[in-house]
Structure 1
């Protein structure tokens, strides 16, 4: 049982190398705790992310001090161009500093900042085991007034996937879309002519994905911000593989992204996959994922694992992932606190 101490919460000085290193160590220790498969990203990537300024979604990084140590880190995001009624955050306390009040001190700071920014709702999510419905992370946020909104199921896919398996999935889907769409795979961003329609499709992902009692409005990603994100990933040493389905009108109607972090050399993150609602029923979701996976395995055979998450009620995407061979590993519950 820890001892409660008086915690000082301050904004992280992202230009203080010593403090940022200690903050990164606390976040990594929290993320890997109880998750032996998790491969953390590098300090270099974290530092660039912390220093990056996104005017459309500014962030505040708060740290909890335990003497000279950084005991906890919480990042608060404040969307400014869409979904401006909400704020969302990511909170971590180093396992060696838990049960001393540091997490609660950070939480109180986040609630205060969200209210002062005029937000009516505060959101967060985190990873927990599949078989522990009363996990400590759940109890912590529930004590602070949060209620469960929805739960994503996190799955892993071990690589490589056999070529004949991918060929079989391709054979099942291709007759549904061939002749009406073309597939293109691009490294570190799609060409400029495709970016407006890609952004339009990406902006709909949060609207159509199951999110319980949270109703998101379309996001406001545009080609300029898209290019900024690609530049940030390039500086981090990351690689993004994007496969798109392009209609006869030359517009992106489906996409999927795989991101390869530099500091986690075996891991691949599955980012968004989405098919425009007017083009569904043609197996484009499976088509773009198979094509992207083929490119990944051909160009980056050293990567051993893809991680993805989907709401358990999203039967369309769940079936695709299960057909590809993804297996359930953990849960990612999303909680909301209405600030009133």
Structure 2
């Protein structure tokens, strides 16, 4: 009999077994789809008032054969939760994944969540795969499609001079960069731009609402990044009047300095049409490489319908390695 149990993330031995299951379950995917152990060891037990985390373990005797993760936002979108289920490759097709998802749904419903979201991954241009079929069988519809892209930094360096020529910083604007902590004089304007994110990013049918980012919330989020060893390498475009016109970042963890991830990229609609997005991307990638010379790759994801951002990323040298299906179910 396989038992489904909740796991205490502060139990390091149990957390390592949970991490191992997820690592094995994602080993078939291209790129670097699973965090290194040290990232999970630090981040999962850390207190975070922005989110609630529940870990599940599928136990067969003394072995962990499946792992579940439920993430609940605690500041906004309180009707939603994100659910993930992983099964060890040698134990698939035994109903373990189905039981994990059902238990995640029970936990979510018990916390008052009415919309559950998840993800399925498949090769580009392919449909009808097992993860897609599993989501459909569990009642999850495709709410959005995204492309997961990866950039080899060597390719970026070969293209860089041409990119700078194509996207100089517009007259009257300037671009500043920083590691994680926003300069105080730009904090309020930065929060205003962050509050636009959900309304400006293509969400498809995802049931998500915008959020507010007052200065104190930003500072608390920055401190959590610092405490867990994550560097949010940020480029910020300032308009002629001093307002934040756009922002982009690349995130690198102290525990994995050869791989980075793009976090957010947004340009205020009032300042679009000036190639600020490309200029910001060049600035963040330059900062990441200056900070971490051994950086080998960076990954990102964008909605397939976001043609502008996809074009910017392709100009930098990003190549699609996977399709991400954003799944959603009303409980």
Structures share a fold, TM > 0.5?
yes
The CA distance in 1 between the partners of 2:85 and 2:294, in whole Å, is: 31
Mapped contact 2:31–2:150 kept (Cα < 8 A): no
- Residue 27 (structure 2) pairs with residue 13 (structure 1): no
Q: Which segment drifts farther, 20-29 or 244-253?
A: 244-253
The structure with the largest strand share of the pair is 2
Mapped contact 1:7–1:101 kept (Cα < 8 A): no
Structure 1 residues 314 and 80, CA, compared in 2 at 3 Å: closer, same or farther?
Answer: same
The CA distance in 2 between the partners of 1:116 and 1:245, in whole Å, is: 43
Superposition map of 1:172-191 within 5 A: 172-174=166-168, 177-179=170-172, 181-191=173-183
- Residue 114 (structure 2) pairs with residue 114 (structure 1): no
Shift in Å, 1:255: 0.6
1:287 corresponds to: 279
* Partner SS, residue 174 of structure 1: coil
Q: How much is the aligned-residue C-alpha RMSD, in angstroms?
A: 2.0
The CA distance in 1 between the partners of 2:217 and 2:174, in whole Å, is: 26
The CA distance in 2 between the partners of 1:174 and 1:147, in whole Å, is: 42
Structure 1 residues 178 and 262, CA, compared in 2 at 3 Å: closer, same or farther?
Answer: same
Mapped contact 2:48–2:224 kept (Cα < 8 A): no
Structure 1 residues 8 and 195, CA, compared in 2 at 3 Å: closer, same or farther?
Answer: farther
1:335 corresponds to: 327
2:297 corresponds to: 305
Mapped contact 1:189–1:241 kept (Cα < 8 A): no
The CA distance in 1 between the partners of 2:210 and 2:203, in whole Å, is: 13
* Partner SS, residue 51 of structure 2: coil
Structure 1 residues 299 and 53, CA, compared in 2 at 3 Å: closer, same or farther?
Answer: closer
2:259 corresponds to: 267
Structure 1 residues 126 and 189, CA, compared in 2 at 3 Å: closer, same or farther?
Answer: farther
The CA distance in 2 between the partners of 1:136 and 1:37, in whole Å, is: 20
Mapped contact 1:29–1:95 kept (Cα < 8 A): yes
The CA distance in 1 between the partners of 2:14 and 2:286, in whole Å, is: 41
1:321 corresponds to: 313
The CA distance in 1 between the partners of 2:115 and 2:33, in whole Å, is: 31
The CA distance in 2 between the partners of 1:301 and 1:253, in whole Å, is: 29
Equivalent in 148, 159, 173 of residue 165 of structure 1: 159
Shift in Å, 1:250: 2.7
Q: Which segment drifts farther, 137-146 or 45-54?
A: 45-54
Shift in Å, 1:324: 1.2
* Partner SS, residue 317 of structure 1: helix
Structure 1 residues 163 and 148, CA, compared in 2 at 3 Å: closer, same or farther?
Answer: closer
Paired residue total:
331
The CA distance in 2 between the partners of 1:164 and 1:146, in whole Å, is: 42
The CA distance in 1 between the partners of 2:6 and 2:43, in whole Å, is: 15
Equivalent in 192, 195, 198 of residue 190 of structure 2: 198
2:235 corresponds to: 243
- Residue 61 (structure 2) pairs with residue 61 (structure 1): no
Structure 1 residues 336 and 221, CA, compared in 2 at 3 Å: closer, same or farther?
Answer: same
Q: Which ranges in structure 2 are unaligned for 5 or more consecutive residues?
A: none
The CA distance in 1 between the partners of 2:252 and 2:156, in whole Å, is: 20
Shift in Å, 1:266: 1.9
Q: Which ranges in structure 1 are unaligned for 5 or more consecutive residues?
A: 1-5
Shift in Å, 1:273: 0.5
Superposition map of 1:69-88 within 5 A: 69-88=63-82
Using structure 2 for the length normalisation, give the TM-score: 0.92
2:135 corresponds to: 141
The CA distance in 2 between the partners of 1:163 and 1:144, in whole Å, is: 44
The CA distance in 2 between the partners of 1:248 and 1:36, in whole Å, is: 42
